[in-house]
Amino acid sequence: MGLGSQARAASYGTPSLSLSATYLSGAVGATGDPTVNVTVAQSGADAGALAVTVTKSSKTAVATTTDVTVTGTGATRKVAVAARGRGYTDLTVQVTGVDGKKVTKTLHYAASASVQLPTETRYFTGSSDASAAVDVGGGYAVVADDESNTLRLYDRSASGAPVKTWDFGSKAGVSKEIDIEGATRVGDTIYWTGSLGNNKDGEYKADRNTVFTTTVTGSGASTGLTYGRSYKKLRDDLVAWDEANGDRYGFADGTEDGQIPKQIDGFNVEGLEFAPGSTTTAYLGFRAPLAPAVPGGKALIVPVTNFDKVLSSGSKAVFGTPIELDLGGLAIRDIRKNASNQYLIVAGSWAADDNSDPYALYSWDGNAAHAPVKRLDLPTSDPGGWEAVVDVPDLSVPGARAQLITDDGSADLYGDGTEAKDLDHPEWQKSRATWFTVTN
C-alpha cells in the first residue's frame, strides 16, 4: 500500500504557472481595471483541480491579498486587483498542485489615485501621451501619442492594453517622433498631423513637419490600417502664407530657432477636422498663437482648402480665410465633428503646464460667423491634460455623451516623482479616457 501511494505521488509533476503580464496598473476606485490571466498546469492532474491564490503583498497600503480576486476554472484563471491606495506593490501569485506542491510568480502592481467620475473613466495602457483619437466603429478607437509614431487600437469601454499597434514611422520616412497632435477621418482615410512646431527646446525638427494618411479596413476589433502618403511642407506653406498676408499671426517669428511652441505667440497645431460638408477643406486648429497673441485672445483656425490634394498628390497647400473663435482666452487642443456637422472643441491653454490650467468643452457649427457655445468646464484636479475627443454624438439629443482622453505623460501617477512617460514598463503607462454628458 505504501508503494502504491508513492507511485501515485510520483506521477504528478511540478505545477507550472505563467502570467499573461508581469506588470499591471490599476486605479483607486476604478471601474473595469485591467486584469491578468494566469495559466496553470500539472502533469498527471486536471488543471481545474489546481488552486490559485495570492499569498502576499509587499505593500498592503496599496493592496492587500483580500483586495485580490481570482476567478475562472480550468487551466486559465483571472486575477483582478481593487487598489486601496496609490503606489506600488509586488503580489505573490501561487499555484498549489493536487499533491500540495507550490510554485509562485510575482505580479508587479501599480495603482494611481482616485479621479473624478471614476465609473465613467477607463485607462488606455501602453502609452501615457495620448494626443489624438479617431473612432473606427464597434466601440473601438485608434489613438495616437505625441512621443512616438505608434498608433494603437483600443476598446473604448475597457481599461487595458491596445488590441493592435502600428508604427508607420519608417514608412513616413522619419526617424524621430512626428509629434502627432491631430487626426480626422473621411471615408476609409484617416489624416494625421504633427504639431508642425519646434520641439520644447525651441529646436526645429523636420519630422514634426509631417502630415500623413492611413487607410482603414474593417472595423472594431478587426480594424486594419495601412500607410498612405505623407506631406512634409505644411509648416513652410503656412509661414509663407502668413508672411504674404502681412505677418498677421507671426508664424515666421513663432517658428524661428529658439522659439518655444507652447507660448502665447508660439506655433503649434493640435486640431484637425474638415469644414462642414467638405472632404477637401480642412480646419487646422492652433494651440498657439492666440489671435491676437495676448491674454484673452481668440483661438485660431486656418482652413486648408485643398487638403485632400496636399496628401494625395503633394500639392502645395492653399489657405482660406482664417477663423478666430472666442473660447474664453483658451486655445484649441482638439476639434471633431459628426456627420451632421456638429463640432466639439476641446479648449485649453497654450502653455505647457497642463495640470493646472483651465479646460472647457465647446460646441460649434463650423460656420466662421457663428460663435461657439461652452458646454462644460472640464475637471483639472486630476493628472493629465485633456487632449482628444473621440467622436461627436448628436448634440440635439438630451443626455448625449462624448469620450475625452488625457495626455498623462508629465503626470506623477504613482507618487514616486516619476513622470508617466519615463516609467520603465509600458503596462504602467496610461492615458485616461472619460465619458462626459455634453447635452442637458
Count of domains forming the chain? 2
The whole-number average pLDDT for the span 51-62 is 98
Same domain, 240 and 336: yes
Cα distances (angstroms) measured from residue 179 to each of 81, 150, 196, 319, 351 = 34, 11, 8, 23, 17
Coarse DSSP helix, strand, coil percentages of the chain, rounded to the nearest 5 percent:
10, 40, 50
Query: What are φ and ψ of residue 438, in 5° steps?
Result: -110, -5
Q: What angle do CA 50, 41, 59 make, to 5 degrees?
A: 65
Q: Rounded to 10 degrees, what is the CA torsion of 331, 334, 340, 341?
A: 40
Give the model's pLDDT for residue 10: 57
Grid cell, residue 138, equals 464597434
% of residues, the chain, pLDDT over 90? 96
Answer for the pair 228, 213: CB distance below 8 angstroms, yes or no: yes
User: What average pLDDT does the chain have?
Assistant: 96
Reported confidence tier of residue 1, pLDDT bands at 50, 70, 90: very low
Same domain, 255 and 232: yes
**Strand pairing of 23-27 and 102-112?**
parallel
Same domain, 67 and 196: no
CATH number at residue 335: 2.120.10
Residues whose CB is less than 8 angstroms from the CB of residue 170 and which lie 6 or more positions away in sequence, other chains included: none
**Peptide bond between residue 15 and the one before it cis (omega within 30 degrees of 0):** no
Give the model's pLDDT for residue 353: 76
Query: What are φ and ψ of residue 431, in 5° steps?
Result: -115, 155
- State whether residue 99 is helix, strand or coil: coil
Does 2 have pLDDT greater than 80? Answer: no
Separation of alpha carbons 21 and 144, rounded Å = 23
Which of 60, 79, 112 represents a domain boundary (last residue)? 112
- DSSP codes joined into one string, 321-333: --EEE-STT-EEE
Reported confidence tier of residue 3, pLDDT bands at 50, 70, 90: very low
Same domain, 99 and 128: no
pLDDT digits (tens, 9 = 90+) for 130-178: 999 999 999 999 999 999 999 999 999 999 999 999 999 999 999 999 9
Same domain, 357 and 427: yes
Grid cell, residue 365, equals 457649427
Which of 84, 112, 140 represents a domain boundary (last residue)? 112
Which of 73, 92, 112 represents a domain boundary (last residue)? 112
pTM given for the model: 0.95
Q: What angle do CA 93, 95, 98 make, to 5 degrees?
A: 165
The whole-number average pLDDT for the span 175-186 is 97
Does 5 have pLDDT greater than 70? Answer: no
Query: What are φ and ψ of residue 359, in 5° steps?
Result: -135, 150
Residues whose CB is less than 8 angstroms from the CB of residue 88 and which lie 6 or more positions away in sequence, other chains included: 59, 62, 108, 109, 110, 111, 414, 416
In 100-210, beta strands by DSSP E: 102-112, 121-125, 130-137, 140-145, 150-155, 164-167, 180-186, 189-194
Same domain, 134 and 238: yes
Same domain, 186 and 79: no
Separation of alpha carbons 11 and 97, rounded Å = 12
Q: What is the DSSP letter of 275?
A: P
Answer for the pair 168, 185: CB distance below 8 angstroms, yes or no: no
Element (H, E) at 56: strand 51-57
Give buried/exposed letters for 400-434 (b at 16+ CB in 10 A, else e).
bebbbbbbbbbbbbbeeeeebbebeeebbbbbbbb
CATH number at residue 99: 2.60.40.1080
Same domain, 27 and 132: no
Q: How many CB atoms lie within 10 A of CB 238?
A: 25
CA atoms within 13 A on the CB side of 102: 9
240: left (phi over 0), alpha (psi -120 to 50) or beta: alpha
Reported confidence tier of residue 426, pLDDT bands at 50, 70, 90: very high
Same domain, 79 and 218: no
The whole-number average pLDDT for the span 409-436 is 97
Compute the Cα dihedral for 382, 388, 393, 396 and give only its sign.
positive
Same domain, 38 and 134: no
Does 431 have pLDDT greater than 90? Answer: yes
pLDDT digits (tens, 9 = 90+) for 193-204: 999 999 999 999
pLDDT digits (tens, 9 = 90+) for 310-320: 999 999 999 99
Same domain, 240 and 212: yes
Separation of alpha carbons 417 and 328, rounded Å = 33
Same domain, 108 and 122: no
Element (H, E) at 235: helix 234-244
Grid cell, residue 307, equals 487638403
pLDDT digits (tens, 9 = 90+) for 310-356: 999 999 999 999 999 999 999 999 999 999 999 999 999 999 877 77
Separation of alpha carbons 80 and 92, rounded Å = 13
311 lies in which domain range? 118-437
Does 360 have pLDDT greater than 50? Answer: yes
Residues whose CB is less than 8 angstroms from the CB of residue 327 and which lie 6 or more positions away in sequence, other chains included: 298, 299, 345, 347, 360, 362, 372
